[in-house]
Amino acid sequence: MRVLLPLLFLLSAPAMADSRMEAAPLANVQLKDPAQERQAKALMETIRCLVCQGQSIADSDAEMAGDMRSMIRERIEKGEQPEAIRKWLITRYGDWVTYEPPLSSTTLFLWSLPALLLMAGGALALGRIRRKR
């Protein structure tokens, strides 16, 4: 798919040395309730890892991603809504932290892009159709 040379170079940089601590309690352990775990997992897949930047925290080996996973699982377990947690993170890290661009005046263009392109292209193609007499 790419010149997909997976260099986790940020991870191996010295500044990102690992601590000697174990992973946070729920970093790599699922919630008991499968419905809650599904909610947590869906949220984690859309939160961008701050250390290894090109991945979601669900796919990252970075310790901070593990800490964030653990935090998300704990808060979901306590009954918090995933969107509330996303909002909480956005207040701290800005829109950057979510892979799901929130609907705003700037992203409205992005979300309407498929429809816009379909209409423009469709109009162009219609011009080439032979009309029935």
Partner 1 sequence: MIAEIGLGLLWLAAGLAVVQAFLGMAGLRQPDRPDLGGAVRPVAVAQAVLVVAAFCCLIYLFIVSDMSVKLVAANSHSDKPMLYKVSGAWGNHEGSMLLWVTVLAMAGAGIAVAERRVRRDTLIATLMAQGLLALGFYAFLLLSSNPFERLNRAPQDGQGLNPLLQDPGLAFHPPTLYFGYVGMSVAFSFAVGALVTRDVGPAFARAMRPWVLGAWIMLTLGITAGSYWAYYELGWGGWWFWDPVENASLMPWLAATALLHSVTVLATRDSLRAWTVMLSVVAFSMSMVGTFLVRSGVLTSVHAFAVDPQRGSFLLALMLLYIGGALALFGLRIGTVREGALFEPVSREAALVLNNLFLTVILGVVLIGTLYPIVAQGFGQQVSIGPPYFNPAAGSVALLLVIAMVAGPLMRWRSDGMKAVLRRMAAPVILGVVALVGIKVLAPDIGTLPWLGLAVAILAAAGSIAPLWKRNLARTPLFTWGMVIAHLGVAVALAGMAVDSAFYKERLVAVDEGDTTDVGPFSVRLVSVEPIIGPNWTALEGRVEARRGDGAPFLLTPQARNYSAPPTDTSEAAISTRLDGQLYVVLGKQGQDGRWQLRLWWKPLVTFIWLGGAMIAIGGALSLVGRLWRERRSPRGGASA
Partner 2 sequence: MRKVFLWLPLAVFGLLLGVMGHGILNPEQTTIPSKLVGTKVPAFNLPAAVPSHPGLTNADLATGKPVLLNFFASWCLPCIAEAPVLEELKREGVVIHAIAIRDKPEDVARFLAEHGDPYARIGSDVSSRVQISFGSSGVPESFVIDGKGVIRHQHIGDIQPQDMPKILKALKDAQ
* Site size toward partner 1, by CB under 8 A: 51
Closest approach, Cβ 80 to partner 1, in A, equals 20
| 85, 75 Cβ separation under 8 angstroms | yes
CA nearest to 23, candidates 63, 65, 74: 63
Residue nearer to partner 1 on the CB measure, 78 or 128: 128
Residue nearer to partner 2 on the CB measure, 93 or 111: 93
| 89, 50 Cβ separation under 8 angstroms | no
Between CA 104 and CA 115 the distance in angstroms is 17
**If binding is defined by CB under 8 A, does position 57 make contact with partner 1?**
no
Q: Helices 63-77 & 82-93, crossing angle to 10 degrees?
A: 140
**If binding is defined by CB under 8 A, does position 13 make contact with partner 1?**
no
Catalog residues that contact partner 1 under the rule CB under 8 A. 1-9, 12, 22-23, 28-30, 41, 45-46, 48, 52-56, 58-61, 94-101, 106-107, 110-111, 113-114, 117-118, 121-122, 125, 128-130, 132
